[in-house]
Amino acid sequence: MRDAITVGTINHRVVDAEYAVRGPIVARAQQLERALRDGEKLPFDKVVYCNIGNPHSLGQRPISFFRQVLAAIDCEAVAGAFAADVLERAEECKRKIKGGTGAYSESKGVESLRERVVRGITKRDGIPANIDDVYLIDGASAGCHYLMNVLIRGEQDAIMCPIPQYPLYSAALTLYGGTLTPYYLDEETGWSMDVEHVKSQLNAARAQGKNVRALVVINPGNPTGNVLSDDNLLDIAKFCADEGLLIISDEVYQENIYADGKKFKSMRKVVLEAGLDKRVALASFQSISKGYYGECGRRGGFMELIGAWEQGVLDAILKLASIALCPNLAGQIVTSMVMDPPVEGDPSYKQFAQERDDILASLKRRSITLSNALNSLEGVTCQPADGAMYCFPNLVFPQKFLDECAAANKVADAEYCTRLLLATGIVTVPGSGFGQKPGTWHFRTTFLPSEEDIAGVAVKLTNFHGEFMSQYK
Amino acid sequence: MRDAITVGTINHRVVDAEYAVRGPIVARAQQLERALRDGEKLPFDKVVYCNIGNPHSLGQRPISFFRQVLAAIDCEAVAGAFAADVLERAEECKRKIKGGTGAYSESKGVESLRERVVRGITKRDGIPANIDDVYLIDGASAGCHYLMNVLIRGEQDAIMCPIPQYPLYSAALTLYGGTLTPYYLDEETGWSMDVEHVKSQLNAARAQGKNVRALVVINPGNPTGNVLSDDNLLDIAKFCADEGLLIISDEVYQENIYADGKKFKSMRKVVLEAGLDKRVALASFQSISKGYYGECGRRGGFMELIGAWEQGVLDAILKLASIALCPNLAGQIVTSMVMDPPVEGDPSYKQFAQERDDILASLKRRSITLSNALNSLEGVTCQPADGAMYCFPNLVFPQKFLDECAAANKVADAEYCTRLLLATGIVTVPGSGFGQKPGTWHFRTTFLPSEEDIAGVAVKLTNFHGEFMSQYK
């Protein structure tokens, strides 16, 4: 047998996988950006990428301490330029990382850097962490792939995911050939999680013969921006323990909390405090791409595996990590610093704290500017962003527009986002890319454009939406 | 249905995959290293990792220019310390990389960095390259995963791989559920490739109903160190064109050539010069982990796809890259520098050229030291290493040892490597981890220990082997 290599004869799972955050609307935006650069006249003079949580691309400055340490490690010649704690951290790295940033490390990451992560987790949760549980990874995506690859044998194996969800989970499930069992977050109550509903979805999946292996929690939420309450988290943990589900807790926005009175509690702390770790296995993710640091391009983060894991399963996960050799060293180093940054009294602390606080305060202001603007639009309601980097407004479209989309075989929110792009240069992701309750429509936009730009984004959105609605009156 | 998550109920492909370069002997070595650190008395005072091409871990210094550019990009404060061309390169990166090293880039990598790679390929081959064909990746392994994921639908799909081979290919084939169709390199003629033999292996696989989709060439060879001749390369290209096979050309050792009169010719040049690009598709890999740079910990490289690709297949590959967001930016930048380094007349050129030439000359001396030592051992023959970073000696074991291994259900070369480790601290990889002709035994060792250390390695190997052989007299 001899098939030519065509889209019809390759692995259909790759063809079927969808990842809207970098999907067709983004490809269109890149074309428009090239057209602008080539001097073409368009209704806007720049493309604003609100499709992805990529803060530095929109002007956020890196945290100086992190970059100074990296520079001091890379290059002896620069040592004189830095404060004592920068040099100390760099010296520690040079001393303890065998071969430096140019050498493959152990597949789980450098031991001394994982020790720093352990210190950070311990401080965050007030419960000692264990170095053997910590796997440094090239961003949370890598950890997600390892888990899905291990858990999924075929389409009978299912993972419960929130809807709406970050489409990495759905894309990975499609790639590995598993099934996504959805549970819907409740928009009316600020995207909270109703465990009774989750249970009924689980039972329905089991009744269909699905082997449901794990439940994904994204907290703070993406795309929803909600922060789950402590009670809600405990209910989920108990539920997973009772039902024999692995908990996959995506906590990459753990430092992005804006709402007064809300704070982040890790699923790890919930599980350990409740003494559930003998009965449930937990995988948590943290990433250096988010938080106040936003070091997306470094590709770093960690995965922590605690609780009732079988050693053979841990060995299989480590084997996958070892086939990829090791996570990149600069990302590993930044991960260690994000989890164990300068503390009060360190020479760099003041500047570090100032930079961190300025970024978080500005993100909070921007989230309010944008959600207020969205809530003022006809037919649009937007839950406040407690955390993360996104607004996920609900759009009630005019029936005439829906009919038009149906007739043209177009997905209504994708069509809306495309028109928004063509009219304003603002790149967003349609709600259908994340999943949503049937009959509802949304889009996701980051609130990452700079303080000066965000007001302009709000005005453009308002003008576009006004014209759009009047067109369908 | 409700299976607990155990090694018996996870994806068996992950359990089945083997990657000897980081396998059980390396795990044992890490235990021994910890024991030494804890003050335990062993027959050696350090563990020498010759299992993996990881030059910096064994003391090779990074190329200053590359590190200076990285430092200057990361940190404004250090600018004064560097030569004009370092600053120029750093400025170009800062100007052209939107958001800098902290931002996700396009999934294929930053355009301006890919332009540098294009310039390097064009200069290397004397034939202009095209930016659309170049995908920056987190090391060649990532590119291999993309291709295998796209090509393999199930076990009926096969990829031809050399035996011995770098076990990434076999591991990836196991993970994606495909079949490895072996072709044997001919040890007696310096590990050359016999196209008639390849053809008979192809036909045998097809007769068994296999859909053979691609052929992997590793040149310079890993673990064999051979460099294929121009004629051999052309025969392979023609063969693949005639048989409708994608060529996967692993060229990560393209700058590691030591044998007089041998030089690297890219498969790209072979295909284009012969006008075969309308009839055959080619994927080539280059990595920053190898060469004279050895920047393994950075995780960088590129994949170039030329020739008869269908657009839909390219789209599927790009989608996989986009689900991983983007390769790490520091790795992307180093890749651009490796392919387009300083040139004569640049302020940094002299130092750069000196560092490069010193490393390559030293590698050549070390390869000779080690292969001479190996060839002097009883029952051992070692083809000279034309290129790459490895010796792959052939061992004729005493029958008594083979009988003992058979009785204990041990693989003979793995047992030999384990004993070598326990006696000397030298970590090698058994030939069975790469595949070998049945009835032959080998191991792979890098010749990367420093010039001072390599003589000691040779002595330890010689002493160990002498004792081993006398034990079985």
Contacts of residue B295, defined as CB under 8 A and 6 or more positions apart, other chains included, come to A102, B56, B62, B66, B288, B289, B331, B334, B338
Task: Give the structural domain span for B42.
Answer: 12-59+360-471
B249 and B104 co-located in one domain? yes
| Residue where one domain finishes, among candidates B285, B310, B339 | B339
ipTM: 0.95
The residue of chain A with its CA nearest to that of B294 is A102
Query: Is A155 within the bounds of a domain?
Result: yes
B48 and B117 co-located in one domain? no
B375 min Cα distance to partner chain A (Å): 30
A427, A49 contact by CB (below 8 A): yes
- B1 — pLDDT class (breaks 50, 70, 90): low
User: What is the average per-residue pLDDT within B86-96?
Assistant: 94
User: Do the Cβ atoms of B297 and A103 come within 8 Å?
Assistant: yes
Contacts of residue B38, defined as CB under 8 A and 6 or more positions apart, other chains included, come to none
The residue of chain A with its CA nearest to that of B241 is A4
CATH number at residue A139: 3.40.640.10
B313 min Cα distance to partner chain A (Å): 5
The residue of chain B with its CA nearest to that of A4 is B244
The residue of chain B with its CA nearest to that of A27 is B106
Query: Is B76 within the bounds of a domain?
Result: no
B277 and B409 co-located in one domain? no
Compute the distance between CA of residue A267 and CA of residue A269 in angstroms, rounded to an integer.
Answer: 5
Q: Whole-number mean pLDDT of chain B?
A: 94
B458 and B382 co-located in one domain? yes
With beta carbons under 8 A apart, name residues in chain B contacting A5. 151, 213, 246, 281, 309-310, 313
A163-191 per-position pLDDT tens digit: 999 999 999 999 999 999 999 999 999 99
B378 and B333 co-located in one domain? no
| Residue where one domain finishes, among candidates B310, B339, B368 | B339
Q: Closest CB to A52: pick one of B62, B75, B104.
A: B104
Mutation for testing the B interface, residue in A78, A245, A337 having most B CBs under 10 Å: A78
With beta carbons under 8 A apart, name residues in chain A contacting B309. 5
Question: At residue B87, does pLDDT exceed 60?
Answer: yes
With beta carbons under 8 A apart, name residues in chain A contacting B294. 102
pLDDT for B332 equals 98
Mutation for testing the A interface, residue in B66, B93, B108, B319 having most A CBs under 10 Å: B319
User: What is the average per-residue pLDDT within A264-276?
Assistant: 98
Question: At residue A76, does pLDDT exceed 90?
Answer: no
Burial track A31-60 (b if 16+ CB lie within 10 A, e otherwise):
ebbeebeeeeeeeeeebbbbbbbbbbbbeb
Question: At residue A96, does pLDDT exceed 60?
Answer: yes
**Secondary structure of residue A219 in the 3-state scheme:** coil
User: Do the Cβ atoms of B103 and A297 come within 8 Å?
Assistant: yes
With beta carbons under 8 A apart, name residues in chain A contacting B144. none
Kindly state the tokens that stand for B442. Answer: 């080998």
With beta carbons under 8 A apart, name residues in chain B contacting A102. 55-56, 60, 62, 294-298
Question: At residue B19, does pLDDT exceed 70?
Answer: yes
A146 and A47 co-located in one domain? no
With beta carbons under 8 A apart, name residues in chain A contacting B108. none
User: Do the Cβ atoms of A99 and B57 come within 8 Å?
Assistant: yes
Beta strand B48-49 pairing with A426-427: unpaired
Query: Is A351 within the bounds of a domain?
Result: no
User: Do the Cβ atoms of B102 and A299 come within 8 Å?
Assistant: no
B365-395 per-position pLDDT tens digit: 999 999 999 999 999 999 888 889 999 999 9
User: What is the average per-residue pLDDT within A286-300?
Assistant: 96
Kindly state the tokens that stand for A195. Answer: 């465990």
B5 min Cα distance to partner chain A (Å): 7
User: Do the Cβ atoms of B138 and A328 come within 8 Å?
Assistant: yes
User: Do the Cβ atoms of A325 and B151 come within 8 Å?
Assistant: no
Query: Is B425 within the bounds of a domain?
Result: yes
B276-292 per-position pLDDT tens digit: 999 999 999 999 999 99
CA distances from A48 to A54, A423, B424 (A): 11, 12, 60
User: Do the Cβ atoms of A329 and B151 come within 8 Å?
Assistant: no
User: Do the Cβ atoms of B75 and A68 come within 8 Å?
Assistant: yes
User: Do the Cβ atoms of A103 and B289 come within 8 Å?
Assistant: no
- A256 — pLDDT class (breaks 50, 70, 90): very high
pLDDT for B74 equals 86
A440 and A296 co-located in one domain? no
Query: Is B386 within the bounds of a domain?
Result: yes
pLDDT for B363 equals 94
pLDDT for B23 equals 81
A309, A281 contact by CB (below 8 A): yes
B285, B249 contact by CB (below 8 A): yes
Whole-number percent of chain B with pLDDT over 70? 100
A418 and A324 co-located in one domain? no
The residue ranking higher by pLDDT, B304 or B26, is: B304
A265 and A299 co-located in one domain? yes
Q: Closest CB to B99: pick one of A17, A30, A54.
A: A54
Q: Closest CB to B149: pick one of A11, A56, A319.
A: A11
Mutation for testing the B interface, residue in A63, A65, A101 having most B CBs under 10 Å: A101
Three-class SS string for A140-156? HHHHHHHHHHHHCCCCC
Compute the distance between CA of residue A272 and CA of residue A278 in angstroms, rounded to an integer.
Answer: 9
Strand partners, A246: A214
CATH number at residue B460: 3.90.1150.10
Query: Is A208 within the bounds of a domain?
Result: yes
User: Do the Cβ atoms of A175 and B149 come within 8 Å?
Assistant: yes
> Which one-letter amino acid corresponds to residue B229?
S
B295-329 per-position pLDDT tens digit: 999 999 999 999 999 999 999 999 999 999 999 99
Question: At residue B181, does pLDDT exceed 80?
Answer: yes
| Residue where one domain finishes, among candidates A339, A374, A393 | A339
A39 and A152 co-located in one domain? no
User: Do the Cβ atoms of B171 and A323 come within 8 Å?
Assistant: yes
Question: In terms of Cα–Cα distance, which of B119, B389, B87 is closest to B256?
Answer: B389
A111 and A152 co-located in one domain? yes
Half-sphere exposure of B16 (CA within 13 A, CB side): 14
- Residue B27: count other Cβ atoms within 10 Å of its Cβ: 12
pLDDT for A1 equals 57
A32 min Cα distance to partner chain B (Å): 15
Q: Which H/E stretch holds residue A426?
A: strand A426-427
A307-354 per-position pLDDT tens digit: 999 999 999 999 999 999 999 999 999 999 999 999 999 999 999 999
A220 and A300 co-located in one domain? yes
Question: At residue A394, does pLDDT exceed 70?
Answer: yes
With beta carbons under 8 A apart, name residues in chain B contacting A427. none
Q: Is B38 left (phi over 0), alpha (psi -120 to 50) or beta?
A: alpha
Stretch among A367-376, B1-10, B133-142, B226-235 having the lowest mean pLDDT? B1-10
**A236 CB burial (10 A radius; 0-12, 13-18, 19+):** buried
> Which alpha helices (DSSP H) does B216-281 contain, by range?
230-243, 267-273
Number of domains in chain A: 2
Compute the distance between CA of residue A206 and CA of residue A194 in angstroms, rounded to an integer.
Answer: 19
Query: Is A77 within the bounds of a domain?
Result: no
User: Do the Cβ atoms of A313 and B171 come within 8 Å?
Assistant: no
Query: Is B79 within the bounds of a domain?
Result: no
User: What is the average per-residue pLDDT within B350-360?
Assistant: 96
How many residue pairs bridge chain A and chain B with CB atoms within 8 Å of each other? 284
Q: Which H/E stretch holds residue B415?
A: helix B412-424
With beta carbons under 8 A apart, name residues in chain B contacting A322. 19, 22
